[in-house]
Amino acid sequence: MSDVRVAGVGLTEFGSSPERTGRDLFAEASIEAFEDAGVPREDVEALFYGNFMGELAEHQGHQGPLMAEAAGVHAPATRLESACASGGVAVREAVSRIRNGEHDVVLVGGAERMTNLGTGGATEALAIAADDLWEVRAGVTFPGAYALMAQAYFEEFGGEREDLAHVAVKNHENAVPNEKAQYRRAIEVDDVLEAPMVSAPLGLYDACPISDGAAAVVLTSEAYAAEHDLEAPVAITGSGQGGDRIALQDRTHLSQSPAAREAGAEAYADAGISAADVEVAEVHDCFTIAEVLALEALDLAPVGEGITAARDGLTTADGDLPVNLSGGLKAKGHPVGATGAAQVAELTALLRGDHPNSDHVDDATVGLTHNAGGTVASAVVHVLEVVA
Amino acid sequence: MSDARDAGYDDWLEAVEEGEPYYLECPEGHGSLPPRRVCPDCGATDLEETPLPAAGEIATFTITHVPTPSFADDAPYVVGVADFGPVRITGQVVGVDPTAVETGTAVELEVATSETTGDRVLALRPR
């Protein structure tokens, strides 16, 4: 199967801008992506767009054509929704269409407007990614669901809040030089441990912020890139997706993410690599425990040992396997529908050498993105490689 | 949200209120909860209402301090996932000091009421 080239990437600044519409955010990201790609808008044959809470935040359904219009693209446009993995499934759909020969140029991305809902409204909107009857009505919030997993992890494998705090400290540190990140502020372990509890054992600094933002990526076929002499050294060489029962109570594991394991295994096999080949990763750290579960599911750390990866320095910027050099969802921000595409944008820049943190991975040629929906009832993994 | 009943789920809550909770069992012995027509494990379509064990055991729990608006007046509250054998069930742990809840605590099902909305809330009460 032919590779898919990442021709251009664009991101808005992630943060709090409650007055900005989703269409404005996506327009900005797409302008940057087209400028970066040097691909004319009229060559785009399809748009795949990730968004989760548009109906609640903006009273706006049918966002596919709206976003094509915002980006100045005349092409069939489809919104994909898989909770926080919406952007990831959009990328996967775009990759699939190019690989099967249907399209040569696809615009893919996502956006989310969240801060206009306020903390309560956003908490309520995020909660609907859980099972309404069996979780939300019992008072499960999103931080609450991950707290249930964190508590189960501690019970099964050990670990403590201080281990998780190191994940937050690391990702904040990585965000400092990233101009697109929401929290460009280093924090200490004590800041995390002393922050107000959200849902024990997770405190305020164990959680990603509520964010507004958008991401856009222009993907092309190998043939198109060659024909148009594009400077597109990074390719998506592997794609995988896994699924699980929506409610945590119905899972085989309360402290593992089998959907991410399936997605990772599929993506590794697709790219013809193994976990040991991964040199840099952007994983879905909506909560500190989520990064731990992701590392283990992707075989980047043994099950039960991911908890100390940040504390031991394995996943820090100068470690053997830097994880979330962008700042991750934790510090870069998590405008839900944009996240999966934003991970591809950040990793592309890291591998190309034009990311503020590229110096930490200057020899890296293989990277991975992991985007999760719900308490990982959906997971999408992509392998990116420098191929030219 | 509409005031219409959620068939299956509301019937199940009423069964809990009457002290006769059940789960759905397929011929292979997989357990699941309503509303459901197909066993999510094996695809069997003949599901039978089977009495749920009276006691469960807390498998994991959290104390939620930042709730959704629907539970604004209830916070802080404990949510637990309890293992009832064939199924696990998520509910608010009631009738106990939140800091006293532990993994392994034996619980039984009941239906409580949200202080915020007056809606029914599935609860787990230590036995």
Across A303-318, b (16+ Cβ under 10 Å) vs e yields bbebbbbbbeebbbbe
Contact A346, A318 (CB under 8 A): no
Token code pair at residue B4: 């219409």
Of the CA atoms within 13 Å of residue A273, those in its CB half-sphere come to 25
Residue bearing tokens 């997993």: A149
- In angstroms, the CA A162 to CA A139 distance is 26
**The predicted structure's pLDDT at residue A342:** 98
Interchain CB contact of B89 with A (< 8 Å): yes
**The predicted structure's pLDDT at residue A360:** 98
ipTM of the complex: 0.97
Interchain CB contact of B79 with A (< 8 Å): yes
Phi and psi for A15 in degrees, rounded to 5? 165, -150
8 Å CB contact of A152 and B60: yes
Distance of CA A102 to CAs A46, A221, A298, A385, B112, Å? 10, 10, 30, 23, 55
Of the CA atoms within 13 Å of residue A87, those in its CB half-sphere come to 29
Amino acid identity, position A247: A
| Catalytic residue chosen out of the listed positions A84, A103, A208, A370 | A84
- Chain B residues whose CB is inside 8 A of the A148 CB are 60-62, 79, 81
The pTM (predicted TM-score) of the whole model is: 0.98
- Chain B residues whose CB is inside 8 A of the A147 CB are 62, 64
Contact A229, A344 (CB under 8 A): no
Mean pLDDT of chain B: 96
**The predicted structure's pLDDT at residue A2:** 73
Amino acid identity, position A221: S
Phi and psi for A349 in degrees, rounded to 5? -65, -40
Give catalytic status of residue A334 as yes or no. yes
Residue of chain B with shortest Cα separation from A140: B79
Residue of chain B with shortest Cα separation from A197: B65
Contact A239, A267 (CB under 8 A): yes
DSSP H helices, chain A, are 22-37, 54-58, 63-71, 86-99, 118-127, 142-157, 161-175, 189-194, 222-227, 258-271, 288-297, 328-332, 339-352
DSSP H helices, A100-203, are 118-127, 142-157, 161-175, 189-194
Contacts of A257 (CB under 8 A, 6+ apart): A244, A293, A294, A296, A297, A372, A376, A379
Contacts for A196-200: CB closer than 8 Å, 24+ residues apart: A196/B65, A197/B63, A197/B65, A198/A143, A198/A147, A198/B64, A198/B65, A198/B66, A199/A141, A199/A143, A199/A144, A199/A146, A199/A147, A199/B62, A199/B63, A199/B64, A199/B65, A199/B66, A200/A147, A200/A151, A200/B62, A200/B63, A200/B64, A200/B65
* Distance of residue A121 Cα from the nearest chain B Cα, in angstroms: 7
pLDDT tens sequence for chain A (388 residues): 578 999 999 999 999 999 999 999 999 999 999 999 999 999 999 999 999 999 999 999 999 999 999 999 999 999 999 999 999 999 999 999 999 999 999 999 999 999 999 999 999 999 999 999 999 999 999 999 999 999 999 999 999 999 999 999 999 999 999 999 999 999 999 999 999 999 999 999 999 999 999 999 999 999 999 999 999 999 999 999 999 999 999 999 999 999 999 999 999 999 999 999 999 999 999 999 999 999 999 999 999 999 999 999 999 999 999 999 999 999 999 999 999 999 999 999 999 999 999 999 999 999 999 999 999 999 999 999 999 8
**The predicted structure's pLDDT at residue A388:** 82
8 Å CB contact of B68 and A123: yes
Interchain CB contact of B122 with A (< 8 Å): yes
Amino acid identity, position A43: D
- DSSP conformational letter for A210: P
Give catalytic status of residue A208 as yes or no. no
First vs last C-alpha separation in chain B:
34
* Distance of residue A175 Cα from the nearest chain B Cα, in angstroms: 26
Residue numbers of B between 34 and 53 with CB closer than 8 Å to A: 40
8 Å CB contact of A123 and B92: no
Distance of CA A70 to CAs A47, A142, A211, Å? 11, 31, 20
**The predicted structure's pLDDT at residue A109:** 98
Distance of CA B85 to CAs A53, A148, A190, B51, Å? 36, 19, 40, 11
8 Å CB contact of A140 and B90: yes
The count of other CB atoms within 10 Å of the CB of residue A276 is 11
8 Å CB contact of A121 and B69: yes
Interchain CB contact of B113 with A (< 8 Å): no
8 Å CB contact of A136 and B68: yes
Angle between helices A142-157 and A118-127 (to 10 degrees): 60
Residue of chain B with shortest Cα separation from A249: B88
- In angstroms, the CA B24 to CA B56 distance is 16
Contact A338, A111 (CB under 8 A): yes
- In angstroms, the CA B97 to CA B106 distance is 15
8 Å CB contact of B64 and A155: no
Distance of CA A17 to CAs A21, A121, A179, A220, A335, Å? 9, 16, 15, 32, 11
